[in-house]
């Protein structure tokens, strides 16, 4: 029997850890098991052909908000072309509202809910031996003789019993490799699926060190921990950070998500010792408005969080990524400005302005009527409006997000942006708000722009802005020229100078 584990990743450099874990747990018991990963950037005809030509008996899809709609379409077409194939779905996008989902989509034979390692292994064994007593398999929802059956959920797995997934497969040196050292999260954020699993199950430090050695010995470029709160146990966190620093191979980079309130002096001292670029720390701030934080079950120790994040950013040798979410309860356009300014002032390497997604299974999705949420009914279920912020204001923030990514996160404008915000704007938000309006009125949003043209657009804004003040533009243009020359290579700078500052 030929069984395929597959998915559509959001980018080529991403890899799917879930498929590797499922494969590791089932491969010994199920010959003919394969993994194939695609991306959402590949067209359906190509993926459809690749899936059909191998004549698999079972095709299992790993489903997320970025790929579920494509997977549904692929599954339906595969079933039409090959009616005898078993279609299995699993992942966060099919673990909730499961009965309604499988009733609606007739091409789906099985859905694995929750943690899937042992459920998948049991299903493979049943299909391979033609044992259709599926009722024995916990965590399985299935279709049989025209009826839908829902089995009891599977128990939480003993996480330490799951083998290291990369031992049995080749190293994908050109991709980000994902690693899980702990499952569960101590927090109860109402918009996050991780909050549903409050029991943290962590691998022993000995096991973690063994696994990390595999990445380091193979000089993997980036390892991304998927642990929801890496520093939930300060002692454990610091031991792992210390080990990575001691074993640093000068190549591998580690990305981890941490809680800003839990940062302590020992962690900062360790981080200060790290090679520049060894660590990327992601901190989800989400909002600095305390009423909003309370409504989504987050800590209100915002002053401590900002203070600790600022100290981490000030080290200069680690990359810091911070997140803010628009569309949370009680966060109006006005209060969001304050959250934006608080987070922007941290000077993080990346400031991600995201928009609330009302995910299946989350607490906040159950409060749609309370907060009068309007949201997109298809994945990724992004907010359109609520009773605190209008759809128009959300779209204004979308425009600001675009320029934040192009100018701040992409880099190359540091001196100019700093001077503009300090001298020409009331705040960072006020600048991006006005700049986004200028950008839109000029029609720049209607096409993509090369990096060199972003300098020309900001040049136009500076000249326009200075006409409304008594400040001359020369000093800002000098800084803009310095940013350009520092960022672009000499050939590109010469080409730019020949074309001039006017955007065509």
Q: HEC states along 434-459? A: HHHHHHHHCCHHHCCCCHHHHHHHHH
- Is 107:75 a contact under the CB 8 Å cutoff? yes
**CATH T-level fold of 3-150:** Rossmann fold (3.40.50)
Q: Residue 485 has which token pair?
A: 């020359």
Q: Sort strands 201-202 and 182-183 into parallel, antiparallel or unpaired.
A: antiparallel
Q: What is the pLDDT of residue 102?
A: 96
Bridge partners of residue 257, in order along the sequence: 282
Whole-number Å distance between alpha carbons of 496 and 490: 10
- Give the per-residue pLDDT at 83: 96
pTM of the predicted model as reported, rounded to 2 decimal places: 0.94
Q: How far apart are the first and last CA of the chain?
A: 60
Report residue 105 as tokens. 């989509």
Strand partners, 38: 8
Residue 382 per-residue DSSP state = B
Burial class of residue 164 (count of CB atoms within 10 Å of its CB; 0-12, 13-18, 19+): middle
Helix orientation angle between 333-344 and 391-403, rounded to the nearest 10 degrees = 20
Nearest residue to 271 via CA among 235, 230, 319: 319
Smallest CA-to-CA distance from 290 within 275, 270, 310, 305 is with: 305
| DSSP string computed for 134-195 | GGGSTTEEEEETTEEEEPPPPPPP-GGGSPPGGGGS---TTSPEEE-SEE--S---TT-GGG
441, 467 Cβ separation under 8 angstroms: no
For the chain, the domains span 3-150, 170-389, 396-504
From the centroid of its chain, how far is CA 69?
Answer: 18
The answer to whether the bond into 404 is cis (omega within 30° of 0) is: no
What pLDDT sits at residue 133? Answer: 84
- For the chain, how big is the Rg over CA atoms in Å? 25
Q: What is the pLDDT along the chain (504 residues), one digit of tens a residue?
A: 899 999 999 988 899 999 999 999 998 777 889 999 999 999 999 999 999 999 999 999 999 999 999 999 999 999 999 999 999 999 999 999 999 999 999 999 999 998 999 999 999 999 888 777 899 999 999 999 889 999 999 988 889 999 999 988 888 878 899 999 999 998 999 999 887 877 899 999 999 999 999 999 999 999 999 999 999 999 999 999 999 999 999 999 999 999 999 999 999 999 999 999 999 999 999 999 999 999 999 999 999 999 999 999 999 999 999 999 999 999 999 999 999 999 999 999 999 999 999 999 999 999 999 999 999 999 999 999 999 999 999 999 999 999 999 999 999 999 999 999 999 999 999 999 999 999 999 999 999 999 999 999 999 999 999 998 889 999 999 999 999 999 999 999 999 999 999 987
pLDDT at position 123 is 94
Strand order in the sheet with 350-355: 177-179, 222-225, 253-258, 279-286, 319-326, 350-355
Distance of CA 28 to the CA centre of its chain: 32
CB burial readout 270-284, b (16+ within 10 A) else e: bbeebeeebbbbbbb
Q: In this structure, are residues 32 and 5 in contact, taking their beta carbons and an 8 Å threshold?
A: no
Which residues, 6+ apart, have CB-to-CB distance to 460 below 8 Å? 438, 442, 503
What CATH homologous superfamily does 170-389 map to?
A: tm_1862 like domain (3.80.30.20)
What is d(CA 461, CA 467) in angstroms, rounded to the nearest whole number? 10
pLDDT at position 288, please?
97
State the Cα–Cα distance between residues 283 and 118, nearest whole angstrom. 32
């Amino acid at each position: 029997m030929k069984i395929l584990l597959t998915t559509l990743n959001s980018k080529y450099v991403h890899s799917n850890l879930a498929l590797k874990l499922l494969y590791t747990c089932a491969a010994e018991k199920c010959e003919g098991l394969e993994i194939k990963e695609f991306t959402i950037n590949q067209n359906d005809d190509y993926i459809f052909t690749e899936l059909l030509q191998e004549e698999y008996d079972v095709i299992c899809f790993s489903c997320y908000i970025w790929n579920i709609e494509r997977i549904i379409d692929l599954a339906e077409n595969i079933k039409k072309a090959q009616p005898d194939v078993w279609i299995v779905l699993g992942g966060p996008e099919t673990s909730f509202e499961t009965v309604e989902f499988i009733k609606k989509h007739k091409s789906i034979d099985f859905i694995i809910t929750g943690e899937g390692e042992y459920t998948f292994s049991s299903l493979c064994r049943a299909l391979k031996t033609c044992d259709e007593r599926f009722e024995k398999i916990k965590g399985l929802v299935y279709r049989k003789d025209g009826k839908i059956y829902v089995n009891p959920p599977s128990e939480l797995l003993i996480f330490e019993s799951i083998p290291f997934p990369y031992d049995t497969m080749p190293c994908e040196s050109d991709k980000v490799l994902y690693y899980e050292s702990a499952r569960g999260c101590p927090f109860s954020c109402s918009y996050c699926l991780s909050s549903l699993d409050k029991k943290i199950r962590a691998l022993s430090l000995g096991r973690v060190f063994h696994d990390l050695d595999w990445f380091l010995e193979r000089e993997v470029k980036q390892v991304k921990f998927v642990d929801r709160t890496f520093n939930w146990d300060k002692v454990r966190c610091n031991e792992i950070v210390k080990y990575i620093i001691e074993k640093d191979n000068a190549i591998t980079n580690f990305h981890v998500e941490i809680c800003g309130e839990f940062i302590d002096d020992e962690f900062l001292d360790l981080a200060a010792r790290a090679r520049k670029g060894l660590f990327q720390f992601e901190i989800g701030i989400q909002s600095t408005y305390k009423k909003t934080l309370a409504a989504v079950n987050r800590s209100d120790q915002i002053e401590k969080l900002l203070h600790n994040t600022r100290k981490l950013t000030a080290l200069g040798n680690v990359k810091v990524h911070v997140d803010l979410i628009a569309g949370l309860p009680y966060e109006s356009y006005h209060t969001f400005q304050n959250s934006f300014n608080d987070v922007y002032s941290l000077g993080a390497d990346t400031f991600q302005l995201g928009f609330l997604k009302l995910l299946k299974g989350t607490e906040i999705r159950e409060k749609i009527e309370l907060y009068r949420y309007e949201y997109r009914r298809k994945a990724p279920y992004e907010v359109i409006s609520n009773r605190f912020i209008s759809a128009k204001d959300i779209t204004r923030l979308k425009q600001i997000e675009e320029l934040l990514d192009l100018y701040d996160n992409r880099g190359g404008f540091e001196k100019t942006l700093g001077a503009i915000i300090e001298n020409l704007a009331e705040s960072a938000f006020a600048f991006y708000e006005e700049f986004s309006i200028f950008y839109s009125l000029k029609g720049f949003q209607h096409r993509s722009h090369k990096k060199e043209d972003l300098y020309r657009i900001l040049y136009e804004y500076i000249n326009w802005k200075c006409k409304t003040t008594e400040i001359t533009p020369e000093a800002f243009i000098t800084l803009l020229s310095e940013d350009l020359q520092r960022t672009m290579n000499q050939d590109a700078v010469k080409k730019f100078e020949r074309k001039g500052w006017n955007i065509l």
